[in-house]
Structure 1
Amino acid sequence: MLLTICDLNPAVPVAAENEALGRGLSGVTGHIGDLLALHADAAVSPANSFGMMDGGIDLAYSRKWGWGVQEHLRSLIAARPMGELLVGESLIVPTGDPAIRFCISAPTMRVPGPIHDPADVFLASKAAFLAARAAKFEHLLMPGMGTLTGRVPAALAVKLMLDAYQAVFRP
């Protein structure tokens, strides 16, 4: 599976390029800029356990795809036994956008705020990759997981994201 790690913060895609090169991961690239300007099967939302898509990259998703994506996601989450999507779980929702047809919600945090355990970045990323693999997606777009609201340093976040990538897609 092709993975493009996109972010407006250049530190994230640069770290992705360097880490992928160091690991020999030819299917992983970094892209500095707007994730929504690209084409892929799906984009990852690092939102929160309640599917609130009103900040950071999720706000950009909601503005591009409409608030119906958040409403659909929140209805799926509300129907779950605990009424939340835990860190380490994911759900796929359609976007209605032919350029990026699906959104994979893989929360990095229960509620918006700093991430106290960076392992949550690994768990969220792994959940997103497992969902992408199960859906047989060929190309996934992913922002820096936990790097904005979560305040995880770019290099550490990318390392954990690619650890999860390799755990799911063993080269």
Structure 2
Amino acid sequence: MSVNRVQPPLKVVLSDVSATVVEAWRAAFADNPEIAIHQGSILDQQVDAWVSPTNSRGRMDGGVDAVVKRHLGAGIQLRVQRAIRAGFGGRLPVGSAVCVPSGAANPRFLISAPTMEESSQNVSETLNVALACAAAFQAVHRQNAQAPGSIGSVALVGMGARTGRVPARVCANLMWSGYTLFNDHCFEDYDDLRSTIVAQLDDIENAPVEKPVRIAPPARRTARR
């Protein structure tokens, strides 16, 4: 079951070294002035949490994952994989995420959200970016439910745009869909989140590329009398 909750303001920063990704974000998020968009490394962002696109095993051996691991130290991969074992039996499905303490002052948390099952997988023909982005924001909901206000700001990169080979404009549009779903709805479990996204974006290839698709939250369930 999923429920609606009033969310506290969250500062969202989109940061990527690719000028093409940044340009695509500016188009997709043109009507979202609350989003800060920067060209540069996520390592430079002073926020409570970084979001790192990963694989289902949490092996931080490539892309942004490897950059984050070098910066935070090898212990971060151990914490991510421990959380995946504890919560998901060792394999984190696309459309799920884990949030772990980083061991650093900045950021205090790392959110790992898989955009692919295995390392260096081409996900350009999938909905994985929307699933991963929405799951990352869901992890923010969950962390703040456990410790209110612990994540007030978060930084994301172009999810799937490098290792996953997702075109920049497609990446930006799918991330916009994941972000707006975060603002509109809070899910109690990742299965509900995944089914909602897949049901509504399954024919996204027929949508115009210049218009991101807003995902409608599932209808609230009412008890029978």
* 1:15-164 correspondence runs (5 A): 15-21=24-30, 24-80=31-87, 82-112=89-119, 113-136=121-144, 137-164=151-178
Q: CA deviation at 1:53?
A: 0.6
Name the TM-score, length of structure 1 as normaliser: 0.92
Report the 3-state secondary structure (helix = DSSP H, G, I; strand = E; otherwise coil) of the residue aligned with 1:46. Answer: strand
**Once the two structures are superposed, what CA deviation does each residue of 1:85-131 show, in whole Å capped at 9, x if it has no partner?**
00000100111221211110110001021115431110110000111
Contact kept, 8 Å, 2:97 with 2:135, in 1: the verdict is: yes
Runs of at least 5 residues in structure 1 that lack an aligned partner in the other structure: none
- CA change 1:135–1:125 in 2 (3 A) is same
Deviation of 1:60 after TM superposition, in Å, equals 0.8
For residue 106 of structure 1, give the secondary structure of its aligned residue in structure 2: strand
Q: CA deviation at 1:82?
A: 3.8
Percent of residue pairs identical: 35
Does 1:10 pair with 2:24?
A: no
Q: Superposition RMSD on alpha carbons, in Å? A: 1.6
In structure 2, how many angstroms separate the alpha carbons of the residues matched to 1:6 and 1:60?
Answer: 14
Q: Which amino acid aligns with 2:114?
A: P
Structure 2 unpaired stretches of 5+: 1-9, 145-150, 186-225
